[in-house]
Structure 1
């Protein structure tokens, strides 16, 4: 499966297309006091270059973050998993696994339960299960089969595990309970890549990614509730949706990156923030024009609250968007903790008003870049 999703670093090209389409609004700079509660939390123990791709919390004492370490140039590194015990991050031993790729997502259920998936390396993607003591590979239909890719994982309140990926040349969902697994009907979109799965209810599942469009691709968002409903594409020049939050079928926020057209290799793209109101997508100006938006997290009331990102034009601190009434405001992380932090994800901490974010200490996954996390305590 070709992978068009824009990963960390300055990848893509500056687009000359404005995002102020439809009923576009513009995010504004938030007062400095709003960013004061984000603080850097050391995540030691990984080998540069290292990055954390996704983070998930089950409560204030339990969180997992996954990614890669030991990356050299364009070559992928080794799988990296780190656990938060309420006071510090510790690196989990993965040397017993027959897997040498990057972990792309994690779902933390509790101290004795978590799931993770990784990008294809060798014989397809791995599905990993945490049993409270170690990570082990789990069997599933298609395991070891060429062309099988597992991209993202989520676990519902009923314990069912949902994974988006691909099999047989088509984008699909894999559903299971840890013992029995089933691939669901293919997404009815040609040339689709799925990079994120999120649950609104135990039986309403949303996915995001991109789909072929002419000579490029456009943003993809779809819903599974027993059958597929594919929303109209999020239009843009080579645009991928990296994450979404669905408060309702007619209230969906999507974030991502638009590569644009032209420009030399290595130029960053444009951050994308779009809202679905049940009838159409509207693009919202995120408050900066060059960079990316990577993750989105909801508050305890289920309302989209924080978006993680990267502002190419101001890399002195990490960059977020914070919900401000009906719009969004730019907020900044702590100063002086990393040279140019790049955030790949943000997630809520259940049972609290807090949030975690994860990424790396610079915008390029090359030595001496290390894994990086920040925490917001309300």
Structure 2
């Protein structure tokens, strides 16, 4: 069963609006000014968007997505490379994929991406590896099989690769070490999807998505450490978890969108911010009611630090939530850089206290919407 993967979006400035404290009950400090800056990502063919971004350090980062949406071919894969000074579009004319969903990398020879097949009926999702110059398809068990889907990828410092997806009608993880690949035991949850895989340590892997609850779907979070541990469902009306950050088994933050029911056509969903304390999930107010939360990233101490989002009621700048003590504060990105920037992801820059975010210049995938990135320098 496949459902829409809700990603997020736009609203951004400097200082913020303090939200209610997280479940610990501690006070939220006074918000500080934050220096998110737009960074040009030229070369995409509208309409285009970046779905994911990853950094190996200040001098190397990758961003992937899609361009020419709605064109004769239904769109083309889009990839960009950061060289420490600027973004440059990567030539993908040797590939035929319609979009790239996720990217992860730790050095120039250990970066991976997953995408959608050209023919979703006859073919399977591609796995791509960065060779230092461009992206090339890589072999893995099930390559080219109908029904094989690769949704998200993560890479450890020792270059182990973890992918969430499905094969043979079952939701699974695919694990790679060197040239050896193995599909692991199916997730023991019926009618479920995993959209994001996240590493806490080489042997502790977290994944999130959604699962059927009979009349819709609930948020899903699970941990793999040699066997599956599935956390209780996150209750909601058509709730999808897009990303998570696990500081420990009793400190997990999950973000996403609750589509709800009813309302006019095109009604946006509601942002979902959820915390697991080892016993139960607690919903935390996001500070706005219409929109979504798309990504979450940790700081150098391993704590959840930044969340990317989209505030439907204030689309003039990008929107973030910043961890302040034990609470969260709304922070807005730069003004006047895009009509209504929409963020899909946020990621830390290793070796620094900086971050990248990526998305598109407006929430509507129609011309002249183009690829978009912002950076918070250390």
| Shorter-chain TM-score above 0.5 | yes
Conservation of the 8 A alpha-carbon contact between 2:8 and 2:293: no
- Aligned equivalents of 1:203, 1:7: Cα separation in 2: 27
Can you give the 5+ residue segments of structure 2 that lack an aligned partner in the other structure?
11-19
Tell me the CA shift for residue 265 of structure 1. Answer: 2.5
1:225-374 equivalence runs, <5 A: 225-374=225-374
* Corresponding residue number in structure 1 for 2:15: none
Tell me the CA shift for residue 34 of structure 1. Answer: 2.1
Aligned residues: 365
**Cα pair distance change 1:369/1:74, threshold 3 Å:** farther
Conservation of the 8 A alpha-carbon contact between 2:9 and 2:341: no
Instruction: Please give the per-residue CA displacement for 1:93-136, whole angstroms capped at 9, x wherever unaligned.
Output: 11102x33210000122123310000233111000001112211
Q: Which one is further off, 71-80 or 365-374?
A: 71-80
* Corresponding residue number in structure 2 for 1:14: none
**Cα pair distance change 1:30/1:68, threshold 3 Å:** farther
* Corresponding residue number in structure 2 for 1:216: 216
The SS at the match of 1:164 is strand
* Corresponding residue number in structure 2 for 1:45: 43
Are positions 1:145 and 2:145 aligned together? yes
Are positions 1:101 and 2:74 aligned together? no
Tell me the CA shift for residue 4 of structure 1. Answer: 2.7
Conservation of the 8 A alpha-carbon contact between 1:128 and 1:137: yes
The SS at the match of 2:33 is helix
* Corresponding residue number in structure 2 for 1:16: none
- Aligned equivalents of 1:28, 1:184: Cα separation in 2: 42
Give the alignment's Cα RMSD to 1 decimal. Answer: 2.1
The SS at the match of 1:71 is coil
- Aligned equivalents of 1:73, 1:329: Cα separation in 2: 40
Tell me the CA shift for residue 29 of structure 1. Answer: 11
1:33-72 equivalence runs, <5 A: 33-35=32-34, 37-72=35-70
- Aligned equivalents of 1:177, 1:129: Cα separation in 2: 13
Conservation of the 8 A alpha-carbon contact between 1:27 and 1:287: no
Are positions 1:183 and 2:183 aligned together? yes
Can you give the 5+ residue segments of structure 1 that lack an aligned partner in the other structure?
11-19
Conservation of the 8 A alpha-carbon contact between 1:30 and 1:331: no
Conservation of the 8 A alpha-carbon contact between 2:36 and 2:376: yes
The SS at the match of 1:34 is coil
Conservation of the 8 A alpha-carbon contact between 2:8 and 2:292: no
TM-score computed with the length of structure 1 as normaliser: 0.92
Q: Which one is further off, 73-82 or 358-367?
A: 73-82
